Amino acid sequence: MNSFFDINATEYASRKKELLLLVTRLRAVGAQSEIDLPQIVVIGNQSAGKSSLVEAISGITVPRDPQTCTQCPFECRLSSSHNSWSCRISIRTEFNSTGKRLAAVSERRFGECITDKSQVKLFLRRAQFAVLNPDTSWNKILSASAEDLRTWSAQSTSSPSFSRNVICVDVEGPDLTELSFVDLPGLIHNAEPESVQLTEDMVTSYISTKCIILVAVPMTDDIENQKAFRLARQEDPDGHRTIGVLTKPDMITNGSKKVLQNWLDVIEGRQHRLAHGYFCTRQPDDDERATHLTRESQREREETFFTITMPWCQSNARERLGTQNLVNALSYFLMDTIQSSLPQIIKETEEQLELCQKELARIAAPLKEEPTTFLLSQIARFCSDFQVAVQGSIEVPLIQSHRAIYKTFKYDIQQTAPKFIPITDDEEAGPCMNADEEDEEEPGTFRATRLSMNLSDVREHIARSVTRELPDNVPFSATVALIRDFQISWPQYIDKCFEAVRAATLAALQDKANHVFGRSGALQIHLRSLISKIVENHQTACTSILSKIVEIELIPFTQNTDYLQSNTERWLAKYKSTRSARNAADATTNDTGNRAPPKLVGLRFPASDFKSTKYHSNLLASLPDGHYPIFKPISDGPSSETTMCCISASVDSPFSKFSLEEIRFRAYSAGRPHQPGIPSQPTAAPLGNDHERSTRFAGSFGTHNPNSFATEDNDLFRTILDKLAEAGLPVSSKEELLSKLKPSKDEYETELKLMAEVSSYAEIAHQRIIDYVPSFIDLMFVRAIAQELQMFLVSKLELDTPKGRELCARLLEEDPNIVIQRNEVLSRKGVLKNVRRKLTMFSMHRTIS
């Protein structure tokens, strides 16, 4: 029969031995636990003919009676040699009794070299018993008979049914082909569920790697019924790594032509296709095995069967029939896989070594210094690192987190600002009533969440506070009560702020302690308790200071009287302006349907005369509160004229019937011809700082003596009266004009002043508290801990006493888990270094040769 691959005649005949030996050595040092090594894995259902197939490939006899079925992986390593046939058995221990992978892999020779093939079966039984019973002496096992082994197995109650540790069988001889494969326990059905699952998990763990999967499929059953085939499809859905081996072809009678044709279609690639296809072998039956046929006789009978038996004798895939063709193909596939995998093996080895180095760098090295000296140096490092964090560090964003907390505290305090609305219960609040909501540069930065108070509420509050005061005197207790009302929630916000800073600081300390003192769990626990203690001490001291700050703030006081006065005036002007604007808006709304708004006409003056006329200046400087002067140059240039109109927004003023925007527009447009393309109606414009200008020009215009006007100005004043008449505002005399421009006193003047005073003081108090609280927390808590931390830890540990030194030694004892972790990494590193050394030696040998 023509061979599919004549492996021993190819140009890489010598290369294949070296490659297989390299993988064998890598596996012996445990490389398979770290990197994916190429291998062939033989799987199949129980009674699928897998044992016969293994015997045919390896040339050895394996245990096959029910009591000694395959219960652990067998790794067969075949090698051609000019020497006589020999076999050596080793046991590779990779897992402990619980199934956990060991840190270090060991491969020990089991017994002496075997030169008699008939002894292999007994030695394999002994090796399997040793694997399943690791506590039994090997000397006892090696001298046991097959009957002894069966008796001991029956009497044992602690032996597991299966093991993942490997029996390695090295066979060499002149008629062998370079090949290595792993024979796994057959998949069982009629057994304990635990055993069924264990064998399935073992098979899955092997074939999930990038190995070549050799599936034994008996031709006496449908291929879809084979659990082994389903598992192979599950792990290799595309069939790129799977090779099917059809067994027991002689069990199908010649009359089953349809069955035979179906299997022929499988062999020839028409059904159930795989990338590497299928092979078919015929092994001796029970009667033939009883005659102890030689290997050569078995192969001759197999070849005869495929030569004379239909339909195999007429198949166009004869190179896929017979054990030798299968062995040659497997050897070729394995060597090709090893050759192509070498670069990846080298790469993975280096990557895993680098990971080990990083892991060891993360794990604390074993202590070599005297414990007390070492601990003192670590405490100094810990305290120094925390000092850096307190000063401000990018690596440890402690202060950044504090700033965020203080920002929240500032917002919380601002939310407590008093909210006064300058209207009464009988008046309807309009869109301009939120008098304390503006930009941060204006009064009213603070947006309150508290209930608001209007003028009626404030009047009622004053009335409740009056005791022995004279009329029109606001009791100081009324002011204090309103101040304390917005301060009532300050303590809870201060506590909230401090607790957040305390938690952030403690977390930073604990994290740093874990990093610096991470080598010992006991030391970590002890230092964490000491850190918590010093934090608690300074927490108590800082809390006491913060409570005093609250007590101080509950007593109204400030020496910043200039700011208090000016800010009170600003708030008062703001409340009055808001109130006047609202009343003006109401008046406009009520009067719109009754009469047409008058046309306002501005007055023109030469700019130079206007600026130099003292009477005009006196007039402008005398505008009372609530009046708005508006000036607009008619044209640009040195001879430009100026339009001026004095407008009152008082409730009882004729000008109060119009909104401020309309008044400003009409004053601006007074005396100017309409220009095409420019709207003739007023448009909305921002109020700007008109009120500030009105207060700046506030004076005694209402009481100005008419006789103070010079004679030469009478004509000018008459012109003003004429212009007002043209605008629909007739005035007969100076006195009437002055009386109409003079605003009446607001009946809620007292309440407005109290609201302004409290709002002004609130700003001062807020500015103090949002600075004082963070400053004292930083000084009395954060910085205080940083300054005292090292002295506190050293004193509490008592390192200068025998008791303290003894405690130090105990605390620095390594955590057993860290020791285990370090040893595991060191073991992995050792394995990988051995792998790298083997790979380097292999490369050097190939270069030399």
Query: Do 405 and 500 sit in the same domain of this protein?
Result: yes
Query: Do 490 and 604 sit in the same domain of this protein?
Result: no
Domain end among 159, 190, 207: 207
Query: Do 413 and 485 sit in the same domain of this protein?
Result: yes
Note whether residue 505 is domain-resident: yes
**Ramachandran quadrant class, 688 (left: phi over 0; alpha: psi -120 to 50; beta: rest):** left
Locate 683 and state its tokens.
Answer: 């448009």
What contacts 24+ positions apart, CB below 8 Å, involve 803-811?
A: 804/372, 805/371, 805/372, 808/371, 808/372, 808/375, 809/371, 810/522, 811/375, 811/520, 811/522, 811/523, 811/526
CATH number at residue 549: 1.20.120.1240
The answer to whether 639 and 604 are in contact (CB under 8 A) is no
Locate 632 and state its tokens.
Answer: 């607009």
The answer to whether 183 and 336 are in contact (CB under 8 A) is no
The rounded distance, in Å, linking the Cα atoms of 299 and 328 is: 14
Q: For the residues of 427-484, what is the DSSP string, one character each? A: SPP-TT--TT---TTSS------SPPEEHHHHHHHHHHH-SSPPTT---HHHHHHHHH
Dihedral angle, C-alpha 353, 358, 359, 364, nearest 10 °? 130
The rounded distance, in Å, linking the Cα atoms of 170 and 17 is: 13
Q: Is 828 helix (H, G, I), strand (E, B) or coil?
A: helix
What contacts 24+ positions apart, CB below 8 Å, involve 401-408?
A: 401/504, 402/501, 402/504, 402/505, 402/774, 402/778, 402/782, 405/497, 405/500, 405/501, 405/504, 406/497, 406/770, 406/774, 408/497, 408/500
Number of domains in the chain: 3
Note whether residue 217 is domain-resident: no
SS3 content of the chain, % helix, strand, coil (to 5): 55, 10, 35
The label of the residue with tokens 């072998």 reads: 281
Note whether residue 7 is domain-resident: no
Query: Do 663 and 774 sit in the same domain of this protein?
Result: no
Query: Do 690 and 760 sit in the same domain of this protein?
Result: no
Note whether residue 429 is domain-resident: yes
pLDDT at 569: 94
**Burial degree of 116 (CB within 10 A; 0-12, 13-18, 19+):** exposed
pLDDT at 431: 52
The answer to whether 758 and 457 are in contact (CB under 8 A) is no
Buried b (16+ CB within 10 A) or exposed e, 182-207: bbbbbbbeeeeeeeeebbeebbeebb
Query: Do 706 and 758 sit in the same domain of this protein?
Result: no
Query: How far is CA 792 from each of CA 216, 375, 798, rounded to the nearest angstrom?
Result: 73, 14, 10
Note whether residue 313 is domain-resident: no
pLDDT at 640: 41
Note whether residue 27 is domain-resident: no
Query: Do 399 and 518 sit in the same domain of this protein?
Result: yes
Strands (E), 339-450: 420-421
Q: Which amino acid type is present at position 584? A: A
pLDDT at 47: 82
The rounded distance, in Å, linking the Cα atoms of 500 and 122 is: 74
Q: Which amino acid type is present at position 351? A: E
Task: Specify which residues 629 forms β-bridges with.
Answer: 646
Locate 597 and state its tokens.
Answer: 């708004």
Domain end among 184, 207, 230: 207
Query: Do 553 and 611 sit in the same domain of this protein?
Result: no
Query: Do 618 and 687 sit in the same domain of this protein?
Result: yes
Q: ∠ at Cα 258 (256, 261), nearest 5°? A: 110
Q: Is 99 helix (H, G, I), strand (E, B) or coil?
A: coil
The rounded distance, in Å, linking the Cα atoms of 690 and 145 is: 116
pLDDT at 396: 79
* Range of the structural domain that residue 181 is part of: 64-207
Query: Do 543 and 642 sit in the same domain of this protein?
Result: no
Q: What is the end-to-end Cα distance of the chain in Å, rounded?
A: 36
Q: Is 604 helix (H, G, I), strand (E, B) or coil?
A: strand
Query: Do 388 and 534 sit in the same domain of this protein?
Result: yes
Q: Is 125 helix (H, G, I), strand (E, B) or coil?
A: helix
Q: Mean pLDDT by 10-residue block, N- to C-terminus, for the chain (849 residues)?
A: 48 73 82 83 89 89 70 90 90 88 84 92 93 92 91 84 91 86 88 85 89 92 89 92 93 82 91 92 86 85 91 89 92 87 88 88 78 89 93 88 96 93 80 49 43 89 90 90 92 96 95 83 87 95 95 94 94 89 63 45 43 42 45 43 44 44 44 44 40 38 43 70 76 67 75 94 95 96 96 90 85 78 84 86 68
Q: Is 642 helix (H, G, I), strand (E, B) or coil?
A: strand
Note whether residue 294 is domain-resident: no
**Largest pairwise CA distance in the chain:** 155
Locate 304 and state its tokens.
Answer: 């005869």
pTM: 0.53
Query: How far is CA 79 from each of CA 91, 108, 179, 180, 546, rounded to the nearest angstrom?
Result: 19, 20, 7, 9, 85
Query: Do 380 and 474 sit in the same domain of this protein?
Result: yes
Note whether residue 782 is domain-resident: yes
Q: For residue 651, which of 559, 555, 587 has the smallest C-alpha distance? A: 587
The rounded distance, in Å, linking the Cα atoms of 196 and 317 is: 36
Q: Is 45 helix (H, G, I), strand (E, B) or coil?
A: strand
